[in-house]
Structure formats: structure tokens, C-alpha cells
Amino acid sequence: MKRTGKLDYLELPATGGTLDSVKAFYSEAFSWSFTDYGPTYSAFGEGLDGGFQADASEAAARPLPVLYSHDLEATLAAVENAGGTIARPIFAFPGGRRFHFLDPAGNELAVWSE
């Protein structure tokens, strides 16, 4: 339900790679689907929660989208097989484990699991 003041949308740049390569990566690695709005914009709908990182040694320079996985190792393999670059291997943090990767456009994302 859309409400005033509630996070509603996440827009990532796709300028570091072609839009087609970015869409192919997320489709293969995470089974995302897309709706194209012209030749330079494609939308996805994949759920959204969030948090703030105040530890300067852990905080990313820009927002860090974090995806969930029931099987972290299988998802890491899917990211690699789809052409993603692992930026930070699986590590433990309070509440679970996660890894970070770069997509074909150079965006950094993370995947976590309990």
C-alpha cells in the first residue's frame, strides 16, 4: 500500500553497462522480470525494506541495496554464473551472513541470509 513518507522505489543506474546486460544479469541470477519504458529505462518490482549503517568502516559510499536468499551459497554461485563480480565474499554479521557483488553496470549490492 502506498503511503506518504514510506519508501516506495529504488532506482539504480545502468550507465556502466548496457541496459540489456544489466537486465540479463538480474534475470539470470535472481529471476527478475522487467517492464520497459522506452529504450533507456526498465522497471522491476521486487520488494523493499531498509536500514541505516552508522559504522564508518562498514558503510558504503552510496546506498547499498540488499537482497535476501534462503541459500546464500547457491545465490553466490548464481551471481557468479550470471557474470557478477564478488566484491566481498560471504561473511557473518549480527543477524546472519551476507556477501557483496557488483552487477554489469558496476552497482554494488549485497545478498543476506539468516
> Which sequence spans correspond to the domains of the chain?
19-48+62-113
Single pTM value for the model: 0.82
Per-residue confidence in pLDDT tens, the chain, 114 aa:
767 657 667 888 888 768 999 999 999 999 999 999 888 889 998 887 666 677 787 767 788 889 999 999 999 999 999 999 999 999 999 889 999 999 999 999 999 999
**Spatial strand order in the sheet of 96-102:** 66-68, 108-113, 96-102, 85-93
19-48+62-113 belongs to which homologous superfamily? 2,3-Dihydroxybiphenyl 1,2-Dioxygenase, domain 1 (3.10.180.10)
Q: Output the nine-digit C-alpha cell for 99.
A: 556477501
